[in-house]
Amino acid sequence: MKIVFLDSAIINPGDISWEGIETLGTFENYKRSTCREALERLQDADAAFTDSFPIDREIMEKCPKLKFIGIAATGFNHIDLEAAKELGIAVANVPAYAANAVAQHAMALLLALTNQVEVYNNAVGKGEWRQSKDYTFIKTPLTLLAGKSIGIVGYGDIGSKVAQMAEAFGMKVNIYSRDKEAAIKSDVVSLNCPLTKENAGMVNAEFITQMKDGAILINTARGGLVDEAALADALKSGKLAGAGLDVLSSEPPAEDNPLVGLENCYITPHIGFIPIEARTVVIETCGANLKSFIEGGNLNRVV
């Protein structure tokens, strides 16, 4: 069996063993692939793995030996599932592997905004504490989370973990699917839902208008959930106190992205899933999924 990984640069840059996949056949690992390269590399492949590289109907039809597609992630919107089903190609993903990691990152973004650790660390490094006449100094206000509310949009594996962590800080949790108004009116709104055609751009000017004045938006889900121009306007006007984002509408961001550089908008480069513990689960599960397929099983099959 020939196995090809098309884009392993992020999910496994070399710090995790490939043993679970290598033992199943002849393994070819590529950090990145262009569309042309993908077609060449998959020509005689029996199984393909992809992190974010899109595999569409054209690729499937031009690679007749392909019988298995393994997604090194949870989301599968970059795979043409309908074509895979028609062509008899099995597709398997890695469900819920990053729930703890992404929830932790959501809270890290929230704490960055409420506790301003970076601001104070930089100030100390510049000598501002040494120059203080008192034992401390106040450079920017801090916010206590205990007693505040958080609206969870998407109460799945990640959303429920965010809720647990927020409750540990003494926050009141409002779940969007149960009470939309309470969730939207919360002190913090955290997006943890998948991106669909129905909810694309859901956090738009109208949604933001309904939010509490001075609220914080956290998005560790998908950038397409947010109308970035509307969010930028709300951050500039003070309607929202801040935003913590691990995802943007285009990644890397376009040069004219209105959110990049805003003082009250903290952005990280889609790293919520990056802890090695989470990525190790991905690689091990990819191997287990393919092994199950070879043995006639259906582990983590989506098609």
Q: Looking at the annotation, which residues are catalytic?
A: 222, 251, 270
> What is d(CA 125, CA 121) in angstroms, rounded to the nearest whole number?
6
Q: Is 82 exposed, middle or buried (0-12, 13-18, 19+ CB in 10 A)?
A: exposed
Report the alpha-carbon distance of residue 206 to residue 9 in Å, rounded.
Answer: 39
Cβ neighbours of residue 126 closer than 8 Å, sequence gap 6 or more = none
Instruction: Count other C-beta atoms under 10 Å from residue 215's C-beta.
Output: 23
Instruction: Identify the residue whose tokens are 């999924």.
Output: 289
Q: How many CA atoms lie within 13 A of 111 on its CB side?
A: 11
- Rounded to whole angstroms, what are the CA distances from 156 to 75, 98, 138, 153? 13, 12, 39, 9
Kind of pairing between the strands at 149-153 and 215-219: unpaired
156: enclosing H helix or E strand: none
